[in-house]
């Protein structure tokens, strides 16, 4: 069994990937908070971690669980009725380094969200995504496909709304 590296190095080596994943999974605004929860959970469990050889996978699984917790929590929070609908054209996400469809990924069902994030945002192989999600490669392909299709529909719908304005 390989030895655990100092947590500092583990944080430094994985922070960017985890942040990219969370930016997609919970959105750019909440990514930082869920990042804190993710690495705090990792710090707590670190001495007992027996996946020293694949810490990159270990932390992404924790991040995925924290993203799910975040969405559950958000579901319980009262939705401010008077809040104006989010206008994707008000800020240009592309100017901020984010693709325009990115913010919609967080609203996908959890499996589709992870499949799209691992395959199309982090660029992992189907095999790696399957191992992370604990499912078959077929299931990854299907979830990613459904996720992308839903994003596409969402995008068309939004475009229709804005052209009606």
Partner 1 sequence: MDERLRISTQEAERRSRQAAERFRAAAPDTGLVDVAVGTMGSPVGELLVAVTPRGLAAIAFEGDDRDRVLDRLARGLSPRVLMAARATDDVRRELDEYFRGARRRFDLRLDRRLMSPFAKDVLGATARVPFGRLATYGEIAGRIGRPKAARAVGAALGANPIPIVVPCHRVIGAGGNLTGYGGGLPRKELLLRLEGSLPAA
Question: Could you give the 3-state DSSP secondary structure of residue 31?
Answer: helix
- The single-letter DSSP state of residue 6 is P
Cα dihedral 32, 38, 40, 43, rounded to 10, equals: -140
Interacting residues with partner 1 between 55 and 94 (CB under 8 A) = 94
Contact flag: residue 26 with partner 1 (CB under 8 A): no
Could you give the CA distance from residue 51 to residue 14 in angstroms, rounded to a whole number?
Answer: 14
Contact flag: residue 36 with partner 1 (CB under 8 A): yes
Please select the residue that binds partner 1; options are 25, 27, 39, 115, rule is CB under 8 A.
Answer: 39
Interacting residues with partner 1 between 105 and 134 (CB under 8 A) = 105, 116, 120-121
Contact flag: residue 12 with partner 1 (CB under 8 A): yes
Tell me, by CB under 8 A, how many residues bind partner 1: 42
- The single-letter DSSP state of residue 30 is T
Q: How many CB atoms lie within 10 A of CB 14?
A: 20
Which residues bind to partner 1, rule: CB under 8 A?
A: 3-9, 11-12, 15-16, 18-20, 23-24, 31-32, 35-36, 39-40, 43-44, 46-47, 94, 96-102, 105, 116, 120-121, 148, 151-152, 155
């Amino acid at each position: 069994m390989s030895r655990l590296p100092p947590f500092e190095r583990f944080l430094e080596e994985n922070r960017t990937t985890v942040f990219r994943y969370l930016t997609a999974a919970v959105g750019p605004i909440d990514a930082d908070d869920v990042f804190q929860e993710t690495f705090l959970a990792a710090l707590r469990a670190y001495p007992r971690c027996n996946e020293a050889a694949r810490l990159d996978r270990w932390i992404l699984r924790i991040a995925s669980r924290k993203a799910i917790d975040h969405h559950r929590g958000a579901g319980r929070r009262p939705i401010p009725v008077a809040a104006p609908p989010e206008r994707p054209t008000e800020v240009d996400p592309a100017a901020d380094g984010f693709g325009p469809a990115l913010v919609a990924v967080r609203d996908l069902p959890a499996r589709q969200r992870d499949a799209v994030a691992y395959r199309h945002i982090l660029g992992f192989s189907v095999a790696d995504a399957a191992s992370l999600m604990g499912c078959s490669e077929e299931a990854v392909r299907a979830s990613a496909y459904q996720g992308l299709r839903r994003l596409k529909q969402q995008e068309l719908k939004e475009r229709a709304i804005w052209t009606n304005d």
